[in-house]
Amino acid sequence: MTTRKQTEVWLLGHSVPTITGAKLPSRGDVLRRFFYAHKEEKKTVQQSAAEAAKEVLDFWTRARIPTIAETSVRRKITGLFDEWKILSKSKNNSGVTPAEKQKTFQESLPDLLDIAHSNALTLMTIPEDKEFLLAQREKGRRGSMAGLDEKLKESVCRRESSLSRSRQQTPKGEEMVELESSSSESSSPANAANTSTSSSDAGVASPPKRLRTRGTKSVLSPDLVGALDRTGVSSRQALRIVAATASSLGHDPQELVLNPESIRQARAKYRSTLAKDIKETFSPLTPLTVHWDGKILPQDDGTRAERLAILVTGEGVEKLLGVPKLHSETGDAATTAVFEALEDWGVQE
């Protein structure tokens, strides 16, 4: 049986099995959820970060706020853990500097773990949602998420009801609908007269306009996605290539699920599956030697960070386990990163 004392984490309080509340998760909320998976459920750092990231993203999705990718959220969470881990090494140090760093860290725990997209405020269209994000970024995180948005629910229901009626009125085997509603045609006698005259002058009725439908056929097979990755083309360039190829083979690109986002998601899924397969099938039967070396490399945001390349070699075996980012240039940080990589790949023995 797990006692409350056992679930207590230094500087954080008790770990929790799930994130609750009506606000976007704070740094402390996320770390306490992370530690529950890592300490109580005995999961790896990466697995614990993935579980916490899913719960965090669920909150942001309900708040209708665009976010960064899940992999980036996981990196933020592991970065928080690294920050806590570095502080924990000096918890028995009575010096002034460690105490100040611990106090600063504790004071930052109630702050928002901000995973908003860099252009979130531009992408969002509802003023209340923008105000909520800005309030959550303040100290104290003003505001909270209400229950179900009834106005939004009614709007969605009306739209779905209208679409359902349109489908029922469409003749079987055809995908044509009139874009002009009957109410607008009959609302004014003058409009009715103009319509009648126009039809008479033309001699024939105007052909009904085709309703643009969303493509349903997927052509993004693992082989195709792998080829796009190996050639290094961007998702937008890949869209042009795949659409032109489909058209030359006699397919209508409008019937295909093709857009930059669908290609990006397919590539991310392919990479995730490939990485998982490689890790699961890596079971060398020969003794391994671990190699590591650090190098300062540029990041996406323009800053530079220390990264550690970790490899294992043996007879007929040479495998790169990862290139994690170090939050300090100490030997302890490098040692921890190496051990976690070996643990993650299951070759620590």
Percent residues over pLDDT 90 in the chain: 35
> What mean pLDDT do residues 213-225 have?
76
Note whether 251 and 321 are same-domain residues. no
pLDDT, one tens digit per residue, over 61-77 is 999 999 999 999 999 99
The pLDDT of residue 84: 94
pLDDT for 212 beyond 60: no
pLDDT, one tens digit per residue, over 317-333 is 888 988 998 878 788 88
* Maximum average pLDDT range among 214-218, 284-288, 302-306: 284-288
* Maximum average pLDDT range among 125-139, 231-245, 282-296: 125-139
Note whether 38 and 84 are same-domain residues. yes
pLDDT, one tens digit per residue, over 332-345 is 888 899 999 888 88
Domain membership flag for residue 191:
no
Burial of 165 (0-12, 13-18, 19+ CB in 10 A): exposed
Note whether 294 and 255 are same-domain residues. no
pTM: 0.46
Nearest to 112 by CA among 83, 142, 86, 153: 142
The pLDDT of residue 204: 47
Given 112, 136, 160, the domain boundary residue is 136
Domain membership flag for residue 209:
no
Domain membership flag for residue 198:
no
316: phi > 0 → left, psi -120 to 50 → alpha, else beta; which? left
Domain membership flag for residue 123:
yes
Note whether 244 and 296 are same-domain residues. no
pLDDT, one tens digit per residue, over 151-191 is 555 655 666 666 666 555 544 444 433 333 444 444 444 44
pLDDT, one tens digit per residue, over 16-50 is 999 999 999 999 999 999 999 999 999 999 999 99
Q: Give the type of residue at 271.
A: R
Handedness of CA 124, 125, 126, 127 (dihedral sign): positive
Note whether 235 and 320 are same-domain residues. no
Domain membership flag for residue 199:
no
The pLDDT of residue 20: 93
Note whether 104 and 21 are same-domain residues. yes
| 50-54, 71-75, 235-239: the lowest-pLDDT one | 235-239
Task: Write phi, then psi, for 260 (nearest 5 degrees).
Answer: -55, -35
List, in order, residues 6 or more apart from 96 with CB less than 8 Å away.
none
Domain membership flag for residue 214:
no
Note whether 92 and 66 are same-domain residues. yes
Tell me the C-alpha distance between 179 and 221, whole Å. 36
Please state the length of the chain: 349
Contact 110, 28 (CB under 8 A): yes
The pLDDT of residue 193: 40
Q: What's the distance, CA 324 to chain centroid?
A: 20
Tell me the C-alpha distance between 226 and 237, whole Å. 15
Long-range contacts, 29-38 (Cβ 8 Å, 24+): 29/113, 30/56, 30/77, 30/80, 30/113, 31/77, 31/80, 31/81, 31/84, 31/109, 34/77, 34/80, 34/81, 35/9, 36/7, 38/81
Given 136, 169, 202, the domain boundary residue is 136
> What mean pLDDT do residues 223-251 have?
84
Tell me the C-alpha distance between 175 and 328, whole Å. 61
Note whether 271 and 294 are same-domain residues. no
The pLDDT of residue 197: 40
| 104-113, 208-217, 243-252: the lowest-pLDDT one | 208-217
Domain membership flag for residue 327:
yes
* Of residues 11 and 200, more confidently modeled: 11
Domain count, the chain: 3
Domain membership flag for residue 110:
yes
Note whether 96 and 125 are same-domain residues. yes
Given 101, 136, 171, the domain boundary residue is 136
The pLDDT of residue 305: 83
Note whether 268 and 251 are same-domain residues. yes
* Of residues 238 and 74, more confidently modeled: 74
The pLDDT of residue 166: 57
> What mean pLDDT do residues 66-92 have?
92
The pLDDT of residue 160: 61
Note whether 239 and 297 are same-domain residues. no
> What mean pLDDT do residues 144-154 have?
61
Percent residues over pLDDT 70 in the chain: 78
Note whether 294 and 242 are same-domain residues. no
Domain range spanning residue 28? 8-136
The pLDDT of residue 159: 62
* Maximum average pLDDT range among 50-59, 210-219, 240-249, 335-344: 50-59
List, in order, residues 6 or more apart from 315 with CB less than 8 Å away.
286
The mean pLDDT of the chain is 80
